[in-house]
Amino acid sequence: MNADLIMTLIKKDLTLFTRNKFYFILTIVALLSYILIYFIMPKTMDETLKLGIYAPGIPTMENSLINEQGIEAKSFATLEGLQEAVIKDEYPVAIALPEDFFTKLAKGEKPIISVYFNASTPEEMKGAITALVNQLAYLATGQETPLEIQSEVLGPDLLGAQIPWRDRLIPMMAILILGIEILSLASIISTEVEQDTIRALLVTPLKLHHLFTAKAILGIGLAFIQVLLFMLVIGGLSHEPLTMILGLFMGSILVTGLGFLVASLSRDMMGVTTWGMIITIIFFIPALGSLIPGMLSGWAKVLPSYHLTDTISRLSNYGASFSDISVNFIIMLGWSAVFAVAGITTLGRRYR
Amino acid sequence: MNIKHIFTLLGKELLHGPRGFIITMTVAAPLLITLVVNLALGGFFSSAAKLAVYDEGQSQLVTLLKEAPQLHVTEYDSPERLKDAVSRGSADSGIILPSDFDNEIASGKKVTLTTYIWGESLAKNRTIVTATLLELTHELSMQPEPVVLVSITMGDEETIPWSRRLMPLTVMMAVFFGGLMLPATSLIEEKQKRTLQALTVTPASLLDVFIAKGIMGAILSLVMGIIILLINQAWGESPFYLLLTIILGAVMASEIGLILGTLINDMNTLFAVWKFGGLLLFGPAIIYMFPQLPQWLNYIFPTYYVTGPIMDISLGTEDTQTLIELGIALLVVILMAVLLSRLTHRLSGEVSKQTAKASEATSQ
């Protein structure tokens, strides 16, 4: 292994990059836009249903609803005020109780409760409020509930401390930043192959393994620097920073391995785009699982990017430690080696 | 411009062009896009609470739960699978109904039921599940409802279900994905291989090459758009006008692809454009999906003037504004064609110079 030769090749590629100002500006703008998206997303998670109440002479109604977990109830002094709040969608749902509500109940009569919905309120919300109001009415009439519900929380209970969407998006954004580098590295290699500069380089003292080592270092470096900068700015390194950095580094190695695989599967640039898109889409699937928990079944663990997503997700959102996710590192390294060896061997055969 | 040359080039692109790319874009991409957007994101945006049920008997409660719009019910075939699903977040809550549940309720006995709650389930979803379970058990026990609920809808805004809200994103991705990438990639490849220079010595002009590649991109884009609308059964009541609008979108996508292909010299930059440009391209679809965002933001994006009319026509809400938006879309297409013509002219000059230099070097 000749370090000088490898360094020369890396410098050559970096010089080509720095000359392409458009590429540089776009890469920075893209990174900044991801950071911007993160910061404009809400910091907190709204766990409650907003419900307006007009219940003249029944102050206990609001109190009983406030006690209901997940309900944000507000009492209105007038029916007009309540209706206006619904029309403006400040309160998508509201209920109005008649003044003689309890009197009628006591007499065994059925009082009428008006439920106001904003026209844009989805059906599921309407059903939820109807069930809730009915349930409260049963309680008010003293009818015994035929069901006693006991609860058992599976996993850590995050009630009141839910993970906000922007934090759920962290693994997805990191995967997006890394995933595009699969296409970039495959494109760098494919350009050398297509323009046949690879043959020109091989008539110099340079060997094929020098070339691939240089490309691998470049690929890892480009992916790692971008994802590290992103995580640094959004505060993704606040918990277990060294483990997170190691995880991101492993992810950069993984996308570099995939870049070699895409390059080896492609005969030309169109091939890079086709294979690259297929592999990138598959690469992104586990990231959806971190955004929408429960969406993916056990099969997703077969996908190499699952372990990268899991690492970033558990470190940034679930307070995991190195020991909790160390298996992911081993699996990622294994996959990276498989992809890199398969890609390099195929590419190498073309030039031997 | 020579029609015969254009068709010859188009035939070449169709017969000997990138088949893998075309198959990926016309078959795999629309299916994947529809699957991801509708299944994954559709469930993601729905506010229905997810309930997992394991029924040891044949309880009527399951039927009632399935009819409740506020719940998305999934049945499991064992308590272990149910608990696993809840702990992974596939459901907000899970219940195991004993075999004699209905009989116990009918006999007036109080039944104790354990709900397994996913730790990350939102407070409102926990409440919705509990309230619905209690309400439906009352219904099952034939207890009369103590109150009469009268629903009153306020405002004139239409409730748009998420499956419809996500349609523009699905259509946009289908029309602009392949329609833009094919001409852009193809042009960059021709530039990198210097085959454009070779073409200038044939009777075909650079403009002919551009038009052929543009038509190819537009056809691909159109086919993808049609497939997506067929999969989603969203042709609406005016399929002819919808088709015309998609053709306009396909031409716009193809023009953007050609402009990018002319300005960009390497694939890396094209991929970098995707990193950032994708946000600009799909902006209108995202704004449409979130009604709380200021809707005037849409007017900034040229792609809105295609997405907006597509939505109006497929939902049957087209009006004068739809026509105005279509007019603007047509104007954008014409302006981009003018820009493209200038860029082609400039590139043609560059290619001629390179050809002259190359022949000079060869003769020396």
Residue A252 lies in a domain: yes
One domain for residues A220 and A329: yes
Confidence (pLDDT) at B94: 93
Residues A93 and A212 in one domain: no
Region B38-52: mean pLDDT is 68
The CA distance from A176 to the nearest CA of chain B, in Å, is 8
B191: which 2 tokens?
Answer: 């530039």
Asked whether residue A188 falls in the same domain as residue A302, the answer is yes
- Model confidence band, residue A323 (pLDDT cutoffs 50, 70, 90): very high
Using the structure block, give the residue that is written with the tokens 């989805």: A122
pLDDT class of B294 with cuts at 50, 70, 90:
low
Within-domain flag for A152: no
Domains of chain B by start residue, with CATH: 3-41+160-363 (no CATH), 48-140 (3.40.190.10)
| pLDDT grade for A327, boundaries at 50, 70 and 90 | very high
pLDDT band at B141 (very low <50, low <70, confident <90, very high): confident
- For residue A339, is it within any domain? yes
**Domain assignment present for A269:** yes
Cα A107 to its chain centre, rounded Å, is 55
B186-190, B305-309, B327-331 — most confident range: B327-331
pLDDT, position A201: 76
Probe site for chain B from A25, A83, A114, A273 (most B CB atoms < 10 A)? A273
Does residue B44 carry a pLDDT above 60?
A: no
Residue A285 and residue A333 in one domain: yes
Least confident of A90-104, B18-32, B94-108: B18-32
pLDDT in tens, A283-319: 888 887 777 777 666 677 788 899 999 999 999 998 8
Tell me how close the Cα of A47 comes to any Cα of chain B, in angstroms. 5
Domain boundary among A141, A176, A205: A141
pLDDT at site B143: 76
Pick from A89, A110, A141: which residue ends a domain? Answer: A141
Q: For residue A29, what are the contacts with CB-CB under 8 A and spacing of at least 6?
A: B276
Q: Is the pLDDT of residue A95 over 80?
A: yes
Instruction: Confirm whether A153 is domain-assigned.
Output: no
pLDDT tens track for B257-267:
899 888 888 77
In a domain, A261, yes or no: yes
pLDDT at B116 over 90: yes
- Asked if A169 and A198 sit in the same domain, the reply is yes
When pLDDT is cut at 50, 70 and 90, the band that residue A155 belongs to is: confident
Asked if the Cβ–Cβ distance from A115 to B24 is below 8 Å, we say: no
How confident is the model at residue B61, as a pLDDT?
92
As a whole number of angstroms, the distance between CA B190 and CA B192 comes to: 6
Mean pLDDT of A104-128: 82
Domain count, chain A: 2
What backbone phi and psi angles, to 5 degrees, belong to A50? -90, 130
Task: For residues A333 and A205, state if they share a domain.
Answer: yes
**Which B residues in the span 197-226 are in contact with A, Cβ-Cβ below 8 Å?**
none
Are A229 and A301 found together in one domain? yes
Would you place residue A237 in the very low, low, confident or very high pLDDT band (cuts 50, 70, 90)? very high
What per-residue confidence (pLDDT) applies to A124? 79
- Give a yes or no: residue A151 inside a domain: no
Predicted local distance difference test score (pLDDT) of residue B162: 60
Percent of chain A with pLDDT over 90: 21
**pLDDT score, position A223:** 92
Length reported for chain A: 352
pTM, entire model: 0.75
For chain A, give the mean pLDDT. 83
Residue B65 has pLDDT above 90, yes or no: yes
Residue A148 is assigned to a structural domain of this protein: no
Q: How far is CA B115 from CA A65, A67, B57, B76, B213, in A?
A: 22, 20, 17, 14, 60
Name the region of A78 (left: φ>0; alpha: ψ -120 to 50; beta: rest).
beta
Phi, psi torsion values for A195, nearest 5 degrees: -80, 0
Convert the pLDDT of each residue in B221-244 to its tens digit.
888 888 877 776 767 677 888 888
pLDDT given for residue B206 in this prediction: 80
Question: Are A341 and A257 part of one and the same domain?
Answer: yes
Q: What CATH number did the domain enclosing A104 receive?
A: 3.40.1710.10
Statement to judge: residues A201 and A282 lie in one domain: yes
In the structure, what pLDDT confidence band is assigned to residue A352 with cuts at 50, 70 and 90? low
**A319 touching B (Cβ < 8 Å):** no
Q: Is residue A323 less than 8 Å (CB to CB) from chain B?
A: no
B341 interface with A at CB cutoff 8 Å? no
pLDDT at A225 over 90: yes
Measured between CA atoms, the residue of chain B closest to residue A293 is B89
Give the range of the structural domain holding residue A25, as residue numbers without chain letter.
Answer: 3-42+163-350
pLDDT for position A331: 94
Q: Tell me the chain B residues in contact with residue A191 when contact means C-beta distances shorter than 8 Å.
A: 192, 266-267
Contact state of B274 with A49 under an 8 Å Cβ cutoff: no
3-state secondary structure of B289: helix
Residues A208 and A325 in one domain: yes
Q: Does B362 touch chain A (CB under 8 A)?
A: no
User: For all residues of chain B together, what is the average pLDDT?
Assistant: 79
> Same domain, yes or no, for A86 and A200?
no
Lowest-confidence region among A138-142, A185-189, B157-161, B223-227: B157-161
Residues A204 and A304 in one domain: yes
For position B26, what pLDDT does the model report? Answer: 57
Residue A126's contacts (CB-CB under 8 Å, 6 or more residues apart) are A93, A115, A117, B69, B70, B151
Asked if B279 and A33 come within 8 Å (Cβ–Cβ), the reply is yes
Residues in Cβ contact with B66 at an 8 Å cutoff, skipping those fewer than 6 apart: B73
Contact B134 A288 (CB under 8 A): no
Cβ of residue B28 closer than 8 Å to a chain A Cβ: yes
- Percent of chain A with pLDDT strictly greater than 70: 94
Q: Look at A269-283, A303-317, B92-106, B146-160 and tell me which has the smallest mean pLDDT.
A: B146-160
What is the per-residue pLDDT for B23? 63
Q: For A22-37, what is the mean pLDDT?
A: 80
ipTM of predicted assembly, 2 dp:
0.73
Of residues B143 and B253, more confidently modeled = B253
